[in-house]
Structure 1
Amino acid sequence: MSAKAIDPRQPSLVLALVPVILTLLLLGLQLFYFNDFTPQIPLAIGLAITGVVGIYLGHDWGSMEEGVFHVINVSLPSVSVLIVVGMIIGVWIASGTVPTIIYYGLIILTPQIFLAAAMIMCSVVSVSLGTSWGTVGTVGLALMGIGAGFDVPMYWTAGAVVSGAFFGDKISPLSDTTNLAPAVTAQNVFAHIRNMMPTTIPAMLIALGIYVWAGFSLVQGTDGASFERIDAITTALQANFTISPWLLVPALLVIALAVAQKPPIPSLFAGVLVGGLAAIIAQGATLHEVFQFANSGYKIDTGVSEIDSLLNSGGIQSMMWTISLILIALGFGGALERTGCLQTIIAAILTKVHSFAGVQTAAIGTSFATNLVAGDPYLSIALPGRMYSPVYRGMGYSTLNLSRATEEGGTLMSPMIPWNAGGAFVITALGLGISGQNLENLLYIPLSFACWMTPIIGIIYAWTGLFSPRASEAERKDWADNDREITDMSGYGYEYPLTPAEPQPAPAE
């Protein structure tokens, strides 16, 4: 191996920004100038540009390839969830589970409380399942049908679904991101969840109030939901599916398995199997048709456009667009990390902040920026979590502040970025169909109130000193006893102490 491959150089800040800025420019050109919502090619070009930068710095191809595939490998469990969720969507539509949820939702709910109820339902299901994606693809899809029946704009419904689903993902002990954030900051998962409540609960209450207000305002603006419209949808559902409370069993089974703390992928797949059985028994489908629904999705023509647009969906193949985007975005993020570009950018930020409030704000912003550039919620938690941990320890603050910051800028902001793994899945699973002709569906982003308000509340706490715990004696002892590994920042001009600061003496009276 050559000397260059053994000892690659660290990029300067200008060089580190080159692949990031060029990729964002290409994304802007594709999305807003060409009106083409296919970010895969700009991200792939960005990966190639990063590779050229890496070679210039002395990295060999094998090293960069290893970095790319390492990040992809870390996120493969979530790709597996996507595949199973695609199967669930197709099979649960065919079984009548999704149509049954839509039918009873239209009968039981009222337009005024629908958005608030949608957020609450998704929150409960997501906490139980531990996966925002599973919630969005199942209950979220059904709620889109109910919203269509109430004549609620789909971006409003999507906003409520995303707020609830990603809230649940953030605080569920079954969630992968909820376990990842405390793991990379050496914290206990339940202490991490408790420390997120001061930002999460106010954001959810504010979002709930907005959705209640919006429900009444939207109904008044349209002179009430059309009873004829609701009747047409429920009649079409009854004409094409057997509707029965028993068809809720597949969904209830998955929730029960999640509550029993069974692994998410087997739990979701159990829902596929029971849903397939229900499709055969209740809807008269053949085994071969169930296989087709699981692979290629469900197809139907009810004559009601709102129902057809939602129920012609699902299947593994429907997830391939999202999976391809995720894999390319992960590869881009892995290349940026392996070449040192992300570390250099983060280090440049760290040299400009000298207070806890500044560091906390920077940690949230870095997680969001990593989401924005690398397109991967896992990297947006793992990288800042590793890079910022020494800073919190050096300042004597608990790394619970950091684990919360990475969740706020990572998990919750993931669905806010259309080319991110979370955003791409939301758009695909909820049938938002973003294109140059209906960019208004991107309004779900500002309408996902709980997601973007949480980091804002977190930043306010940092600057006011509220809910910003200092390191306890037990935490300091844990750092010392376990000699926690920390990222060496010396090559980036980083000057903060890399060892826990001793408690400062009280000022003399």
Structure 2
Amino acid sequence: MKHVRLPSMLEIIFTLGLFLAIVFSFTAMFDLPIQLALFISWFIVILLGLRLGHRYQQLQGAITNGISNGLEAILILIAVGALIGTWIAGGVVPTLIYYGLEFIHPSIFLLATLVICSITSLATGTSWGTVGTAGIAMMAIGEGMGIPLPLVAGAVLSGAYFGDKLSPLSDSTVLAASMSKVDVIAHVRAMLYLDVPAYIITAILFTIAGFMYGGKNTDLEKVEFLKTALLENFDIQIWMLIPAIFVILMLALKQPSMPTIAAGALLGIIWATVFQGMDFSAALGTAYSGFSIDTGIEFMDDLLNRGGIEGMLGSIVVIIFGLGFGGLLEHLGVLKVIVSKFQNQLTSAGNVTLSTLIVAFLANVFGCAMYVSLILTPKIMEENYDKLHIDRRVLARNSEVGGTLTSGMIPWSDNGIFMAGILGISTFSYVPFMWLSFVSIALAIIYGYTGKYIWYTNNNVQALQQKAN
């Protein structure tokens, strides 16, 4: 039997460097799909695995194990795709856009976007569902008010991720807690110490930005033009929002995500048939193919021609390849080897916190999926927290901040591709405005090095740490 060994740092640097070179060249230079780059990258890591003494069957098993960890996300994404298509056809999203243009004042629009997306995400537990419904509506309203779209996208994503990592209904919240061996509610409570101040700071920043941009760039004629166009193409009534209220209510009552979102999509089909005058078969088709309309207004068409399961297939393939890639990296112990090189420095809560954030970010970069990050980071870092007697709630919190909040920043990750596709702007254009993510990361590091809200399992250790700080 061939001896199996861990990879050396030189082998890791070469393999991951080659991965990044392929990803960047495919997307930036050759305009080739990221999915193809990820597929090729599988075989680069497989070759490394064979060199380290692993059998091919073991490596293929690592791929399938990695993919199986994220199958729930794939099912939810399929349902979200169907939901977006049918909610546009049923007038749900157009009604949200219309009322937003009607009632939200431009100067508080960015703050309103943050709050609306936060509430939606908290109630539903899904950032993807929030961005695909409320997010689309807020982008349209922002465009109508003349507010820069990257700034609007930053407010949408700040709200969506705030709710996603605080909601007990969120799969990422549950995953971070369970992988860290922490009760979900205890994890949420621990998150509040960081999230509430981060949210207040973010809200202040978006309020200031709103007063800077809202009002002076607002073209009232364009706002009225958009509202008229919506009224001409859709039946806009308050009861169009019933499917949205139903889904939020069901998810708030802790009903399973996938069937609840699918039921919301079915309501969208019924609404499209009954209220929008669509043929039933055409309305049903929007669940798979997405909604399509030719209003003669380019912006309106770009905004409304989207959704459907078919529109999600690219993101689904990225998730599958990303999870498989992450499974291979975990099997070969790549991130563990990287962390072991800095083991001697992990002697304080501050250094452990910073390392956790870096590992979670790298898992997003090289694992291409938020689930890879939330699965690998607690596994890799748990021993370091236990050695310092730091409570696992801190591990779960840092894993969420480093994993969930940075997932949308990577252009080739599942979140990066989904968010850019739905919001209609590139990842790099909205990243500078993901203010909640940056504020949360800064606070997590400050807490780590000051000992603020860092809990210990041993009271004597806690007293020594407080004395040292």
Q: Distance in 2 between matches of 1:82 and 1:360?
A: 31
Matched, 1:22 2:18: yes
- Contact map agreement 1:130 1:174 (CA 8 A) in 2: yes
Following superposition of structure 1 onto structure 2, how do residues 83-482 of structure 1 map, counting pairs within 5 Å?
83-219=78-214, 223-432=216-425, 434=426, 442-471=428-457
Identity among equivalent positions (%) equals 36
Q: How has the CA–CA distance of structure 1 residues 505 and 456 changed in structure 2, closer, same or farther, with 3 Å as cutoff?
A: closer
TM-score by length of 1: 0.88
Please report how far the alpha carbon of residue 503 of structure 1 lies from its aligned counterpart in structure 2 after TM superposition.
Answer: 9.0
Please report how far the alpha carbon of residue 214 of structure 1 lies from its aligned counterpart in structure 2 after TM superposition.
Answer: 1.1
Q: SS state of the match for residue 283, structure 1?
A: coil
Unaligned runs of 5+ residues in structure 2 are none
Q: Say which is worse superposed, 371-380 or 343-352, in terms of deviation.
A: 343-352
Q: Tell me the alpha carbon deviations over residues 292-332 of structure 1, each in whole angstroms, 9 at most, x when there is no partner.
A: 11111111111222211110101111111111112112211
Please report how far the alpha carbon of residue 23 of structure 1 lies from its aligned counterpart in structure 2 after TM superposition.
Answer: 0.8
- Contact map agreement 1:233 1:304 (CA 8 A) in 2: no
Please report how far the alpha carbon of residue 340 of structure 1 lies from its aligned counterpart in structure 2 after TM superposition.
Answer: 2.0
Partner of 1:481: none
TM-score by length of 2: 0.96
Q: Distance in 2 between matches of 1:421 and 1:351?
A: 34
Q: Tell me the alpha carbon deviations over residues 203-261 of structure 1, each in whole angstroms, 9 at most, x when there is no partner.
A: 211111111111121135xx341111011111111001100000000000000101111
Q: How has the CA–CA distance of structure 1 residues 52 and 226 changed in structure 2, closer, same or farther, with 3 Å as cutoff?
A: same
Please report how far the alpha carbon of residue 428 of structure 1 lies from its aligned counterpart in structure 2 after TM superposition.
Answer: 1.5
- Contact map agreement 2:347 2:388 (CA 8 A) in 1: no
Please report how far the alpha carbon of residue 417 of structure 1 lies from its aligned counterpart in structure 2 after TM superposition.
Answer: 1.1
Which runs of at least 4 in structure 1 moved beyond 6 Å after TM superposition?
501-507
Q: How has the CA–CA distance of structure 1 residues 111 and 347 changed in structure 2, closer, same or farther, with 3 Å as cutoff?
A: same
Q: Tell me the alpha carbon deviations over residues 374-414 of structure 1, each in whole angstroms, 9 at most, x when there is no partner.
A: 11211211212012112111111111111111000001111
Please report how far the alpha carbon of residue 20 of structure 1 lies from its aligned counterpart in structure 2 after TM superposition.
Answer: 1.1
Matched, 1:71 2:66: yes
Matched AA of 2:400: E
- Contact map agreement 1:296 1:315 (CA 8 A) in 2: yes
Matched AA of 2:437: C
Matched AA of 1:15: E
Please report how far the alpha carbon of residue 84 of structure 1 lies from its aligned counterpart in structure 2 after TM superposition.
Answer: 0.7
Q: SS state of the match for residue 424, structure 2?
A: coil
Please report how far the alpha carbon of residue 43 of structure 1 lies from its aligned counterpart in structure 2 after TM superposition.
Answer: 2.1
Aligned residues: 467
Q: Tell me the alpha carbon deviations over residues 20-53 of structure 1, each in whole angstroms, 9 at most, x when there is no partner.
A: 111112222233344x373222222221110000
Q: Distance in 1 between matches of 2:312 and 2:465?
A: 57
Partner of 1:490: none
Q: SS state of the match for residue 291, structure 1?
A: helix
Matched AA of 1:71: G
Q: Distance in 1 between matches of 2:466 and 2:206?
A: 47
Q: Distance in 1 between matches of 2:282 and 2:462?
A: 67
Please report how far the alpha carbon of residue 335 of structure 1 lies from its aligned counterpart in structure 2 after TM superposition.
Answer: 1.2
Q: How has the CA–CA distance of structure 1 residues 11 and 149 changed in structure 2, closer, same or farther, with 3 Å as cutoff?
A: same
Matched AA of 1:18: F
Q: How has the CA–CA distance of structure 1 residues 506 and 183 changed in structure 2, closer, same or farther, with 3 Å as cutoff?
A: closer
Matched AA of 1:147: G
Q: Distance in 2 between matches of 1:193 and 1:424?
A: 27
Q: SS state of the match for residue 54, structure 2?
A: coil
Q: Distance in 1 between matches of 2:188 and 2:129?
A: 20
Q: Tell me the alpha carbon deviations over residues 449-503 of structure 1, each in whole angstroms, 9 at most, x when there is no partner.
A: 0022211110111011111111157xx9xxxxxxxxxxxxxxxxxxxxxxxx899
Question: How well do the aligned residues superpose, as a CA RMSD in angstroms?
Answer: 1.9
